[in-house]
A = this chain, B = another copy of it.
């Protein structure tokens, strides 16, 4: 899981909370990062239809659908996030030993299975649920 994902979720929760157009600069201040980073992440969310943008004065990013309709699996998907990813591959396909040539593939399968269950977990969490955690509603 990259930090882009954390920034995306934070921004979505913040935009849902604000319910108006917010500039990358203001979002960056809330997230504590650089405005350019916010733009890079949110432009991908825009492409996925999870936020809308308005340019010109008083423009910025805004929520465009009910927070209950956005789950974290959609956010991960929009960013092509792979929860468990290991770039390092042991062994070497060209070696004679079946262990040396086959282990990387076996590990990939294991990571795949972990990613599948991680995505299931993410699908269970919506932006609205996070909002409820941050702003408990008295019953």
What residues make up the interface of A, taking CB atoms closer than 8 Å to B? 1-3, 5-7, 9-10, 13-14, 17, 30-33, 72, 83-92, 95, 97-100, 102-104, 106-107, 110-111, 113-114, 117-118, 120-122, 125, 130, 133-135
Give chain B nearest CB distance to A74 CB in angstroms. Answer: 14
What are 11 sample pairs from A and B whose C-beta atoms fall under 8 A apart? A1-B85, A6-B90, A10-B107, A13-B103, A31-B100, A83-B83, A102-B134, A103-B134, A106-B130, A110-B125, A117-B117
Number of copies: 2
Q: Closest B residue to A33 by CB, please name it.
A: B90
Q: Closest B residue to A120 by CB, please name it.
A: B117
Give chain B nearest CB distance to A37 CB in angstroms. Answer: 11
